[in-house]
Structure 1
């Protein structure tokens, strides 16, 4: 089962396919970010890692 790499919460395979980056990393999920802003939070967190 997939999990958020930021908070460790479990996410569905469908969520992982949509929101994971090209390496399979999930940087945001409904547990640690607002539903409406998951893509934006993921981009922001990815920018801070690299």
Structure 2
């Protein structure tokens, strides 16, 4: 099962397919960011390297 690269929590295969970036990184998940803002947080973490 895939994991969030930011916090290490398990996520579903479906979640990973939707939210991984072009490099295959999953920078946010429901455990480390608000559900409504996962895509935005993921983009911010990709650009800032946090």
> What TM-score do you get using the length of structure 1 for normalisation?
0.94
Structure 1 residue runs of 4 or more that deviate by more than 2 Å after TM superposition: none
Aligned-residue Cα RMSD (Å) equals 0.5
The structure richer in strand per residue is 1
Deviations 1:1-48 (A, max 9, x none): 100000000000000000001221100000000000000000000011
> What TM-score do you get using the length of structure 2 for normalisation?
0.94
Aligned residues: 49
